[in-house]
Chain A
Amino acid sequence: MATIHNEIDNWLAADLHGELSEDERGELHAHLVECAACRKTHQETKTMNKILEETLAQQKPDPAFEQRMLTGFRNRIPEKGGLIKSLFDLMRFRAVQVTAVVAVLFALMQLGRTFTRETATTPRTRDRYADKQLFEPPSQVAATLEPGRAGALDKSDELAAGKPKDLALAPPQSSSETRSKVARDFKAYPATVAPVETPQAEMAAKETGSETGAMNDVAEASSAETPAPELANRKLIRNANIELEIISFGDAVQKITAFANEERGYIATTNSEKQANGKLRGQVVVKVLPENLDRFLQKLRGLGELKNQTLGTEDVTKAYFDTDARLKNAHVMEQRLIDMLKTKTGKVSDLLQVEKELGRVREEIEKMQGELKYWDSQVQFATVTILLAEKDMEEPAAFLLKERAQLSLYAPDVEKIYNDIKALASPKVQITNAQLNRDYSGRISATMSMLIVPEESDAVIGRVKGLGRVENFQMQTQRIAQGGSGMSENAKTKRDKVELNITVSREEQEQALQQTSLRIRTASVDTKAKELQALAAKQSGRVRSSTFSRDPDGREVAGVSLRVPMKNYPALMQSLNALGKVENVSVQRQDRTGAQSDEANAPADISIQVYSQGNIVSHETGLLATLRRTVAQSAGAIMWSLRMIGVAVAFLAPWVVALVIVIWLVKRVARERQ
């Protein structure tokens, strides 16, 4: 009871809230009957409870409260799109979650594998592979022998073929177990019937006889990815190429011989070649002990300037031991065949076959022995190939002066000159090319080439020049170095034959040096033109063309085109004044560069127009004519203005139409508004 009194607050609250059990309520009521204080408290608490209920009931949220919350939530967190939502929905399922996790793990595993380049089954396959390597070769060997003849081998054949199969069929064991088993089985075979492919296993084959314990180790090594290199057993062929520039070839060879002796080597071959400029170039091959190679090369560098050096090492270990193993097999074969011959069972033909086979095997043995010997020699000594070249290898031996002349000529008669030049041919003047061209318009030209000995060249060229008018002459000299490039003090200079190229053209085709045009007014055109031609002939000029015409007004015009040598030009111009009044003189001169042109003889063209004044009175005068012209002009003016009006109308019409439409629309709108 005491507890109720002490904790009356709790009890009363629980009672009012209906949280008292039946018994508890009984106890409380019993206490209230006894205790006045608690009764009072009970009363107060009841009132309190009522007030609370009434007051707080007002503060309760209204019925739409949940809906408001929901709407607010939806507004603030918009629903996601279809795909993502369905994905989310899917991810709710436990099975999907598990699957996803598994998939991710698997993907990670695969990723890891690709990085490490390892496959899950690696260890097992590697062991199998080792088995194959070790046990397939015996059956291969057996296969090379034809079954009928190799009766003695049949048994071991079976052994070889059978056992590995058993092994392969055996359930996969732990790798170390398998390996040791492999090793054991391997030992059981006669070492000689087990030629093998890999270098690691070759070692095994070599060592089987000597050590038994080593077997396991070797098998171990064969399964490992990288075997420890056994340098002592390696067969390395070392060789070096070195290129040197030296002062004297002979000295260099001597020194090389000395060096080779010091390093316990020898000169294998030496050869040399003399160049045109007297320099030597050659090659020396030296054999030295491999361990001394580096020192030897170091010494060589002192001989001259090092141009190039390569150092190579070839590892023939694998090939060497391959051959070695094959050789041993062949020896065994040989022995067996000999045994077969000794026992002499079987037919004669069989024996013959065996004999033949024996021959083949022996031949093979010799070949392989030779090969091994060669390798031994190569391995025993390193080969150094020294390329020697003396300094200034490129210096020229001699110079050649080559002269080339180009000559252009103008002549009145091309054909004659062509023949004249051809007549120059002699042992000292060789005509290499002569060509006479005439085109459809009658133009003629000749091109010729000749080679002249140096002494004669000046005389011949002078002679050819005299044959016509020189338009152009060019001489080109070239110095050609022989047997090298660059400068040389001692080299001789030789003159080569002079090459002369000639082109001959007709004078008419030549362009005039000076062109003059003028007009002469005179009363009698025809006579004056004739006089003019006579004048020209006097000054050794030639009339190239002449024209004559008379126009309706009675005006006469004669055109004369002349060509005279420049030296006669001033005299001709002087004499023209006698013919009439000279007008409109215009002179155009084409100055030629180059001193070679012969100006006095160069042609000058003069075109002269001789004309008369014509009738003073025109047919087109008089009243009628004037009237006719006036009417025609006014009609033309009217037509022109009409055309202009048409253009203006065409240009303005669209604007006018548009303006009218706009005005009409505006008016209509205004009216409707009213």
Chain B
Amino acid sequence: MDASEREQYRAAIHGDRDAFEMIIRTHSRTLFAIAYGILQSREEAEDVVQDSLVKAWKTRGRVRDPEKFPAWLATVTRHGAHDVFRKRRTVSLLKETVEASESQPPDTSGIDQQLHSALATLPELHRAALTLRYFEEMDYRTIENTLGLTNGALRGILGRALAEMRKQLRPALASMD
């Protein structure tokens, strides 16, 4: 993290709107990736990012160390996404009990559909890492910083995530080949 970035974070923590808006410009995509990783819904993810930014602005005083500001932003977003996820699950469970008798779950033949369901089975951290990587094409180092991981941990996470996906999608892959 270079000095100007640090200064920007510090200013934002002390209430500089311009600095905070600059941070929104540079970081909201990352936050979106995180939220999307958890929720796998663009609309919901966008809402979560929006809410998290507002919440971050209001509670910015809690951050002591400017260097931790991006990681803290990610945490706020992740918590927000989790909240939404939890609510959604209770709602969808209710829906499922109603719909279960009437119709079969929708056909998951499409590769997109399969991919998403495979993603859904991954641990949340893995999903976040994947989305960060494939949305933003971030290098491992940055992803690690953003998610607050230790040096080198990401390689294993991404390896396992990919392997898991591969195993789940093997039939589809075979058919593609």
A and B bind? yes
Contacts of B11 in A (CB 8 A): 92
Give the residues in chain B near A66, CB-CB below 8 Å. Answer: 24-25, 28-29
Contact in complex: B155, A51 (CB < 8 Å)? no
Among B24, B135, B162, find the residue whose CB has the most chain A CB atoms closer than 10 A: B162
Residue A45 at the chain B interface, CB threshold 8 Å: yes
Q: Given A19-B155, A77-B54, is A52 in contact with B176 using a C-beta cutoff of 8 Å?
A: no
| Residue from A53, A74, A92 within 8 A of B14 (CB atoms) | A92
CB-nearest residue of chain B relative to A85? B17
In the complex formed, the residue of B with least CB distance to A60 is B135
A283 to chain B, nearest CB (A): 83
Pair B155/A10 contact, Cβ less than 8 Å: yes
Interface stretch, picked from B42-50, B64-72, B78-86, B92-100, is B42-50
B124-142 vs A, Cβ < 8 Å mask (1 yes, 0 no): 0000001101110001100
* Residue A22 CB within 8 A of the other chain: no
Q: Would you call B165 and A73 a contact (CB within 8 A)?
A: no
A55 to B130, CA, bound (A): 12
User: Hey, which chain A residues are within 8 Å of B106, CB to CB?
Assistant: none
* Cα A74 to Cα B24 with chains together (Å): 11
Which chain A positions have C-beta within 8 A of B14? 88, 91-92
8 Å CB contacts to A: which residues of B127-170?
130-131, 133-135, 139-140, 155-156, 158-163, 165-166, 169-170
Provide the bound-state CA to CA distance between A88 and B135, in Å.
36
A66 to B26, CA, bound (A): 8
Return chain A residues, CB-CB under 8 Å to B58. Answer: 77
B167, closest chain A residue (CB): A44
Q: Mark B101-123, 1 if CB is under 8 A from A, else 0.
A: 00000000001100100000000
CA distance A14 to B49 in the complex (A): 29
- The answer to the question of B16 belonging to the interface, with a C-beta cut-off of 8 Å to chain A, is yes
CB pair B158 A57 closer than 8 Å? no
Q: Which residues of A contact B25 (CB under 8 A)?
A: 66, 70
Within the complex, what minimum Cβ distance (angstroms) separates A372 from chain B? 77
Contact of A48 with B159 at beta-carbon distance under 8 Å, contacts A61-B46, A92-B16 already known:
no
Select from chain A the residue with minimum beta-carbon distance to B176.
A47
Residues in chain B near residue A59, CB distance under 8 A: 36, 42, 135
Q: State whether A73 and B160 are in contact (beta carbons under 8 Å apart), knowing that A56-B131, A66-B24 are contacts in the complex.
A: no
Contact partner of B165 among A41, A48, A60, A89, CB < 8 A? A48
> Is A259 engaged at the interface, CB distance under 8 Å to the other chain?
no
- A51 near B169 with CB under 8 A, answer yes
Verify if A231 is at the interface (C-beta below 8 Å from B).
no
Contacts of A65 in B (CB 8 A): 28-29, 32, 46
**CA of A11 to CA of B152 in the docked complex: distance in angstroms?**
12
Q: Which of B24, B29, B130 contacts A61 (CB 8 A)?
A: B29
Tier of interface size on chain B: 35 or more
Are B162 and A49 closer than 8 Å at their CB atoms?
yes
CA distance A57 to B133 in the complex (A): 11
Residue of A nearest to B28 (CB): A69
B173: contacting residue among A11, A44, A77, A89, CB under 8 A: A44
Asked if residues B29 and A17 are in contact (CB atoms below 8 Å), the reply is no
B33 vs chain A, min Cβ distance (A) = 9
Q: Are A48 and B169 touching (Cβ within 8 A)?
A: yes
State the CA gap A89–B173 with chains docked (Å).
57
In the bound complex, do residue A10 and residue B49 qualify as a contact, i.e. CB atoms below 8 Å apart? no
A9 within 8 A of partner (CB): yes
1/0 contact string of A72-104 vs chain B (CB within 8 Å): 111011010000010011011000000000000
Q: Per a CB cutoff under 8 Å, which of A17, A55, A92 touches B111?
A: A55
Most buried by B among A7, A11, A17: A17
Q: Would you give the shortest CB distance from A144 to chain B, in whole angstroms?
A: 72
B46 touches A73 (CB 8 A): no
Most buried by B among A13, A45, A55, A77: A13
Task: Kindly supply a per-residue 1/0 record for chain A positions 285-313, scoring 1 wherever the CB is within 8 Å of any chain B CB and 0 otherwise.
Answer: 00000000000000000000000000000
In angstroms, Cα B140 to Cα A10, docked, is: 12
Most buried by A among B25, B36, B54, B163: B163
Asked whether, in the complex, the Cβ of A47 is within 8 Å of the Cβ of B140, the reply is no
On whether the beta carbons of A45 and B155 are closer than 8 Å, the reply is: no
A1-53 residues with Cβ-Cβ distance < 8 A to B are: 7, 9-14, 16-17, 19, 41, 43-45, 47-49, 51-53
Contacts of A76 in B (CB 8 A): 50, 54
Contacts of B170 in A (CB 8 A): 44
Check B73 for interface membership: any CB of A closer than 8 A: no
Known A-B contacts A60-B135, A66-B29; A9 and B162 likewise in contact (beta carbons under 8 Å): yes
Q: Which residues of A contact B28 (CB under 8 A)?
A: 65-66, 69
Q: Does B2 contact A (CB under 8 A)?
A: no
Bound-state CA distance A89–B50 (Å) is 25
Whether, in the assembled complex, B5 has its beta carbon less than 8 Å from a beta carbon of chain A, the answer is: no
Complexed CA–CA distance, A10 and B160 (Å): 7
B159 close to A73 (CB less than 8 A): no
Known contacts being A56-B135, A61-B42, is A10 close to B24, with CB within 8 Å?
A: no
Nearest CB to that of B58 among chain A residues? A77
Q: Report whether B173 and A17 are in contact in the complex, using a CB–CB cutoff of 8 Å.
A: no
* Cα–Cα, bound, A68→B115 (Å): 28
Complex Cα–Cα for A323 and B131 (A):
101
- Measured CA separation A135–B32 after assembly (Å): 85
Given A65-B46, A91-B14, A70-B21 contact (CB < 8 Å):
yes
**B152 smallest CB distance to A (angstroms):** 10
B61 an interface residue at 8 Å Cβ cutoff? Answer: no
B53 within 8 A of A: yes
Min CB distance A46 to B, Å, is: 10
Least Cβ distance of B158 to chain A in Å? 5
Q: A236 vs B119: C-alpha distance in the bound complex, in angstroms? A: 101
CB distance from B114 to the nearest CB of A (A): 9
| A10 with B156: CB separation less than 8 A | yes
State the Cβ distance, B7 to closest chain A Cβ, in Å: 10
Cβ contacts B1-25/A at 8 Å (1 or 0 each): 0000000000100111100010011
- Given the known interface contacts A14-B159, A65-B29, A89-B16, the answer about A55 and B112 at a Cβ–Cβ threshold of 8 Å is yes
Given A19-B140, A69-B24, answer yes or no on A51-B111 (Cβ-Cβ < 8 Å): yes
Chain A residues with Cβ under 8 A from B130's Cβ? 52, 56
Which of B24, B50, B165 makes the CB contact (< 8 A) with A52? B165
Look across to chain B and name the residue whose beta carbon is closest to the beta carbon of A7.
B159
Residues of chain B within 8 A (CB-CB) of A41 are: 166
CB contact list, A459-510 vs B, under 8 A: none
Question: How far apart sit A211 and B177, CA to CA, in the bound complex (Å)?
Answer: 118
A–B pairs, 18, beta carbons within 8 Å: A9-B160, A10-B159, A13-B155, A13-B159, A45-B162, A45-B166, A48-B162, A48-B165, A52-B130, A55-B112, A56-B131, A65-B32, A66-B29, A68-B46, A70-B21, A70-B24, A85-B17, A92-B16
Which 10 A-B pairs rank lowest in CB-CB distance, beginning with the nearest? Answer: A10-B159, A9-B159, A9-B163, A56-B134, A13-B159, A69-B28, A13-B158, A72-B50, A88-B15, A48-B166
Given contacts A41-B166, A51-B169, A92-B14, 16 further A-B contacts (CB under 8 A): A7-B159, A9-B163, A13-B163, A14-B155, A19-B140, A19-B155, A47-B177, A48-B173, A53-B134, A56-B135, A61-B32, A66-B29, A69-B50, A72-B53, A73-B57, A77-B54
